[in-house]
Amino acid sequence: MAEALSQQDRICRPAEAEDTELSRTGNQCPAGDDCAYYQEVISLRTAVITDPLTGLYNVRHFREALEQELERTQRTLISTALLMIDLDHFKQINDRYGHEAGNQVLKQTARLIREGTRRLDVQCRYGGEEFVVILPTTELMLAVHVAERIRESIACTPVYIDDQQQIRVTASVGLALHSAERPMTAITLVEAADEQLYRAKDEGRDRVCYPLFDVPETQVSGDEKQALGSMFGGEPSSASQADNEDDPDFEFDPDIDDADDFIDDDDGQQWIV
């Protein structure tokens, strides 16, 4: 059983999943889970893939997880989206308030990113004030919805340094999509997201930029938008509400169960139907 579990599968799982799997299959110490060496291995394994400041995954894990999700798209034909998030004027924050305040900004941004995404998404600190999020099994407009939610959350949540001082932070977001129709490598997908990020900076910052594709209506329905809003614990966006109001046949059904809008793929991941 232990041999059947590939190294990549272990690395790309959250730390608690690794702990469970190793305790079931890989721990041969007679002392069991209380073995000091076993706990040390678990701690080291987690540290290798975690950014110590923010608690998000690091670049090493990001690269391996991205390759895994691109392979999943080839197999399932469900798109994978990539968000590249950069805090605006972060150097000015460090210069004016100090590096410790800058660290607080980074930690709060990481928390907001984690709260604004699903557990199956891969949230990473890419370097400095830059973050990346892999959105598995996510079409373009749903990824835009998530990116806007993160951007708004960062802009609307000040960082409190003390009782008298608070810092207002904004972020620019670049979005790229890997799909069966438009496949990319890991390198070209990161480059595409980075290009959209630079576009967001050039156009004034505090915005989301993404490539304009012809997306069939069947891929992004009102039900999908509503399901995504419910999944992240928020109300449907104003754009979604406007779409529904323009439809004379639209009628809200309070009895609809959002759980019916999700199915599991063969790896246990959930995606919207």
pLDDT at res. 29: 62
Specify the pLDDT at position 207.
98
Q: Are residues 90 and 105 in contact, defined by beta-carbon separation less than 8 angstroms?
A: yes
C-alpha 77: how far from chain center: 20
Cα–Cα nearest to 80, from 140, 121, 138, 132: 138
Beta-strand ranges (E) seen in the chain are 80-87, 122-127, 130-135, 159-160, 166-167, 171-178, 208-209, 262-264, 270-272
- 56-65 per-position pLDDT tens digit: 999 999 999 9
Residue 35: its pLDDT value, please?
Answer: 73
Would you state the pLDDT for residue 176? 98
Alpha helices in 22-133, H assignment, sequence order? 36-48, 59-76, 90-97, 99-115
> What pLDDT does residue 171 have?
98
Cα–chain-centroid distance for residue 58? 13
236 three-class SS: coil
- Report residue 233 as tokens: 């614990």
CATH number at 59-240: 3.30.70.270
Q: What is the pLDDT of residues 118-172, one digit of tens each?
A: 999 999 999 999 999 999 999 999 999 999 999 999 999 999 988 889 999 999 9
Distance, CA of 231 to CA of 15 (rounded, Å): 23
Region for 32 from its dihedrals, namely left if φ exceeds 0, alpha if ψ lies in -120 to 50, beta otherwise: left
Three-state DSSP state, 233: coil
C-alpha torsion 205→206→212→216, nearest 10? 180
What is the distance between the terminal CA atoms of the chain, rounded to a whole angstrom?
33
Closest to 170 measured CA to CA, from 125, 202, 129: 129
Q: How far apart are CA 144 and CA 30, in angstroms?
A: 51
Active site residues: 129
What is the C-alpha to C-alpha distance for residues 198 and 184, in angstroms, rounded to an integer?
A: 19
CB 177 within 8 A of CB 144: no
Segments in the chain below pLDDT 50: 1-27, 215-220, 235-266, 268-273
- Ramachandran quadrant class, 206 (left: phi over 0; alpha: psi -120 to 50; beta: rest): left
DSSP E strand stretches across 179-256: 208-209
Q: Where are the domains of the chain?
A: 7-48, 59-240
Measured distance CA(273)–CA(263) in Å, rounded: 7
Residues contacting 3, CB < 8 A, separation 6+ = none
Dihedrals φ, ψ of 178, to 5°?
-110, 120
